[in-house]
Amino acid sequence: MDKPKILIIEDEEKIARVLELELTYEGYEVQKALDGLEGFRLYQKESWDLILLDVMLPGISGIEVLRRIRSNDPHTIVIMLTAKDSVEDKVSGLDLGANDYMTKPFQIEELLARIRASMRVHKQSVVGEFNQDWIIVGDLKLNEVTREVLRGEMSIELTPREFDLLAFLMSHSRQVLRREQLLNHVWGYDYYGDTNVIDVYIRYLRNKIDKPFHSPLIHTVRGVGYVLKESK
């Protein structure tokens, strides 16, 4: 199973480093940014389970970073960090969709407990949200009714044929599927074209659901076909 991913956006380098070390020790995959613009760039680049976001940042403020995140992402957990016990900061952050806040200085044990609690609540809400209409493999989710595809919190646009191919791969995750199987189920038994069409469409899918992300899900089994599964 992949490690939960946490992004730290904190301009005080010593605090950011301590958080990075503690969270890495706890088993999280961690990256950090020391200003708002760099933090938002890293947020856009990858999918995150949780963001620790300082309110007072150079570049753009933590409140502005949160506003940009929540403009199209209601799901990623955001815990605000503030150096002052300011009601205005807390209200602004919570109104914009922050999940929690911590006032500096804080005990690392309390922060770790808040992180675990936030992730637990988030996991329960995701399980409730993605019902029987969704197929889920790792952080990839496909809805057969609405024909939506999400990797992490990012929506992925697919052509009808790409969607059908991905749906078949996901519904048979961890099974090695021969090109002939894929051809028959996605293109139909009366299709007389070259099986190389499978390789072409697998490449299309990889460009959309694998290449922009950290870990590939579609794997080639040489001489046999393809399998969709989480990377170890």
Q: What is the mean pLDDT of residues 185-200?
A: 76
Please enumerate in sequence order all residues whose Cβ is within 8 A of that of 108, keeping only pairs 6 or more positions apart, or say none: 18, 19, 22
Nearest alpha carbon to residue 109 among 43, 182, 22 = 22
CATH for 134-228 is: 1.10.10.10
Query: What confidence score (pLDDT) does residue 89 get?
Result: 62
Q: Following CA atoms 207, 211, 217, 222 in sequence, which dihedral angle do they give, to the nearest 10 degrees?
A: 70
Give the global pTM.
Answer: 0.55
pLDDT band, very low/low/confident/very high, at 8 (cuts 50, 70, 90)? very high
Q: Could you tell me if 50 and 6 are in contact, meaning their C-beta atoms sit under 8 angstroms apart?
A: yes
Query: What secondary structure letter does DSSP report for 3?
Result: P
| pLDDT tens for each residue of 136-184 | 888 899 998 888 999 988 899 999 899 999 999 998 988 899 888 888 8
List the domain boundaries for the chain: 5-129, 134-228
Supply the mean pLDDT for the chain.
Answer: 86
| Fold topology of 5-129 | Rossmann fold (3.40.50)
Structure confidence by residue, pLDDT tens digits, 30-55: 999 999 999 999 999 888 999 999 99
Would you say residue 193 has pLDDT above 60?
yes
The average pLDDT across 106-122 equals 87
